Structures are given as C-alpha cells and as structure tokens.
Amino acid sequence: MADERPTQALSPFDAGPGTEASKASVLKNFSQNASLYHARVPYLSKLPFAAVAIISFLILVNLLVWASVGIVLHFHTPLISTAILSYTLGLRHALDADHISAIDLMTRRLIASGQRPVTVGTFFSLGHSTIVIITSLVVAGTASAISSKFESFSRIGSIIGTSVSAGFLLLLGIMNLYILWKLVLQMRKMVRSEPGHEAEEFKIQGAGCLYMLFQRMFRLIDRPWKMYPLGVLFGLGFDTSSEIAILGVSSIQGTKGTSIWLILIFPVLFTAGMCLLDTTDGALMMSLYTSSQAARDPIAVCYYSIVLTVITVIVAVVIGVVQFLNLALNVAEPEGRFWDGVERVGESWDIVGGAICGTFVLGGIIGVLLYKPWRICIDRKRALRAQFLPMPQTLNTEAERGETGHDDSKGTSKKGNETLINVETIDIEREGVASSSRKRAGNSGSEIVSTDVQ
C-alpha cells in the first residue's frame, strides 16, 4: 500500500516560483479569454485589442476613483458639486486643441517608427496633471500667502507653456508637411508602377525635413512614456491649473477646517477625466492610423495616410498659429477687431478641440467615400497604360519565369507535332516507295504475261 501522507495546503499568499508561475498563467489566460471575447464582438473587433484594453482599464479606474470619492464625500456633502465640476473640467480640457494635436502627431510619429502605441495620451495627461496636482496642493496649503503672487506666476507659466506647445505643434506640422510630400511622390510611383509591384514603391516615412537638425531632441520621445515630460511642459500654461487652484481656494474658504488631503480630491478627479479622454483619443487614433479597409493593398494604405496627414497638417498649423497669436495678445495686448476674434477663439478651446475631433471623423468619412471611385479611375488608367505601353523588361523576365512551368508542356507538344510531321512524311515516303514498287511489280508481271502469250 502506498504511504498516505497528509498534504499541506498552500496559501495563495505563499511566495514561490510555482505561485508566480500560476499568477502569470492566470494573467495569460485572462488576456487570451479577453482577446477571444473581443474578436467575437462585432464592433469592438474592428479596433485593436490593445486599444480596447487600455480604454477599458481607464474606465475601470474612473469608476474606482468615483467610488472612493463617493465614500469620502458622503461625510462632506457640500463638496459634491465642486467635485463634479472638477471632473467635467478634466473632460473638457482633454478636448483642448493642443492636447489632441500633440497626441495625434506623436502617435503618428511612433507608428512610423514601427511601434503600436496606445498610451501616448495616458502619459501626456499624467504629465499635465502633475502640474495641476502640485499647483492645487501649493495653493490649498498656502492660500493666504500665495493669493497675491499667483497672478504673476501664472502669467510667466502661461508664456512658457504656450510657447512650448505652439512651437512644438508648428514644428511637427512642418515635419508632417514634408511627410505628405513624400507620400504624394510614393503614390505617383505606385500608380505608374506595374500591377503587383506597388509594395516595392511604398515605404512609410517617419522623419521630416527638420529631423536631421533636431535629431537629438526628437529622439528623446521614442517611447510613449516619454510623453510625460512633454505633458509637464504643456501643463505650465496654467489655463486649467489655475481653475483647479481657484476651486481649491474656494473650497477652503467655503468649508472651514477642510484638510489639504480633502482638497486633493479635486485634482484627482480632474486627472481621471482628462486621462480617460486623452487615452481614448490616442488609442483610437492609433487604430485609425494602423488599420484600413484594405490593409494588404499599399495604394489603399498610402491613400488613407495622405488623407490623415492632410488633416493633421492643417490642424497642427492652425492651432500653432492661433496659440502664437494668443501669446502675442496676452503679452503685447494689441487692440482691433482681428485681435478681438483671436481672443474669442482663445477663450473657447473646448469648442476648437471638438471641431478637431469632428474634422478627423468627417475627413475619414469623406476619404472612405471618395476612395472607391478614385480607385476605379486609377485602375482604368493603369489598365489602359498596360495595354498600349510596351511591356517592361522586369515583366518579361517574370513572364518568362512564369512560363517555365509551361515550357515543358509546350516543348513536348512541339516535339510531338514534329514527330507527327516526321511520321507522316515517313509514311508518305513509304507509300511512295510501295506504290513505285507495285508499279514495277505490275510492269514486270505484264512483261512476263506478254512473253508467255508470245
């Protein structure tokens, strides 16, 4: 009989290689099951699994944040309206033009370098929110001392942040303009190329004309997490940091005895809302840049790249120019109808950001609708050119290579025909010889008969 030894039950918290392997297997199985479920959903299956996963994770984080805040605010009901306002300000600021332009441009650049980034917006918003949280804590902790000096500090930060964001957008806009020119040249080469050789002419352009001059600077952002310091620089604009700081000061004044940790709820809610929409923007733009109706067709990929690049260049240049105009307006304070319009545009960045999102959606829809008739026209021209132009040498060599498989059958048929012709000629010659021999035999027989008669 086998020895029955009591087995000791392992606690799930026991550390060991087996436990770590089991945890890794559990995560792997969960990821596989989630990807299988994602592939079965009709609409979600069109988006990459990584994009859906990061958006779902941020939604879960927002729910957890609100659950925690709800527990805390249950004992501080006067702060509920201020908390809701802070969250909506974060959602609104995520639609600002500088956020959308920077995230979309850097997403495109990382995709061109061979990556599939889904967290560009996440790290950018976290860097931006760092300034929000620090400013809120400083203002909440020293509200009385900093209230008189915050205006000048905010002015300096606004100049720095606006200059960085506007210069960055214009620089990336110029780079994408060069990429657009290269894409148009590649499209011309592919249209003029022979069918089946489009992939040889198409290469994704990942660098602009200023890349060699600013190579070191742009090499710094070669991973999504490096968008964090850029978000910090963008956050120095204090266009929303001041709003959260004012909310903190007003909360301290409205509710006496409020601790600084309770004031921290407002920037956390602001961060949660902004991070959710910025991450969604980056993940969806990654999906849009890396997927098309015909992913294996280089002409289709180049076509949609041109459409998206045109929209990106227009948005980046327009937003960069508007930011520089707002900077000049705040520093020099000029007057006139033109500057009044610039001021109105600067006060409604949320509307401009929504217009940018609508521009991308509308441009994508127009591009999809125009692709089929444009492609039909291009295919007709290529077919006519292939009929009337002489066949290139490359195609001749490939045609000869393609016909090598048929050469044996054709050779055997030719040889068979030649053998048939030779057999027929031999038969004809044989028949001629036989007929001549028969005639000779007949003549000899007639001669014999004539001699016998005689």
- Tens-of-pLDDT digits for all 454 residues of the chain? 444 454 444 444 444 555 556 666 666 676 667 767 666 766 666 677 788 888 889 999 999 999 998 898 888 777 776 787 788 778 877 776 667 777 877 887 888 777 888 888 899 889 888 888 887 777 666 654 554 555 555 566 567 666 766 776 677 677 778 778 888 888 888 877 766 655 555 554 444 444 444 445 556 777 888 888 888 877 776 555 445 555 555 555 444 556 777 778 888 888 898 899 888 888 887 877 776 544 456 777 678 778 877 877 787 787 778 878 887 887 777 788 888 887 787 777 667 766 776 777 787 788 888 888 888 888 888 777 776 655 555 444 444 444 444 444 444 444 444 444 444 444 444 455 445 544 444 444 444 334 333 3
- Quickly tell me which residue has 């033109």 as its tokens: 338
Domain ranges of the chain: 47-388
Residues 6+ away with beta carbon under 8 Å from 73: 79, 80, 83, 265
Q: How far apart are CA 286 and CA 289, in angstroms?
A: 5
CA angle, 24 as apex, 23 and 27 as ends, to 5°? 85
Structure tokens at 141: 């902790």
For residue 255, the 8-state DSSP code is S
For CA atoms 98, 276, 250, 262, the dihedral sign is negative
Helix (H) or strand (E) holding 46: none
Give the pLDDT score at 94.
79
Our CA angle for 348, 349, 352, nearest 5°, is 100
Indicate left, alpha or beta for 257 from its phi (over 0: left) and psi (-120 to 50: alpha). left
* Nearest alpha-carbon partner for 269 in 285, 281, 251, 254: 251
* C-beta of residue 302 within 8 angstroms of C-beta of residue 190: yes
CA distance 273 to 228: 17
The two three-digit tokens of residue 408, written as one number = 């044996």
Angle at 90 between CA 85 and CA 93, to 5 degrees: 120
Among all chains, which residue has been given the structure tokens 């992913």?
A: 295
> What token pair was written down for 115?
């990556």
* Nearest one of 270, 349, 278, 357 to 89, comparing CA atoms: 270
* C-alpha span between 150 and 134 (Å, rounded): 13
The sign one gets for the Cα dihedral 138, 139, 144, 150 is: positive
Model pLDDT, residue 65? 92
Contact by Cβ (8 Å): 209, 175: yes
The pLDDT, as a whole number, for residue 62 is 93
* pLDDT at residue 218, as a whole number: 52
> Helices 150-192 and 298-332 sit at what angle, rounded to 10 degrees?
150
**Burial tier of 114 (Cβ tally within 10 Å: 0-12, 13-18, 19+):** exposed
**Whole-angstrom distance, CA of residue 136 vs CA of residue 268:** 10
- Helix, strand, coil percentages (3-state) for the chain, rounded to 5, are 80, 0, 20
- Chain centroid to Cα 42, Å, comes to 21
Q: Kind and range of the H or E element at 259?
A: none
How far, in Å, CA of 141 to CA of 138, rounded?
A: 5
Encoded amino acid at 371, one letter: Y
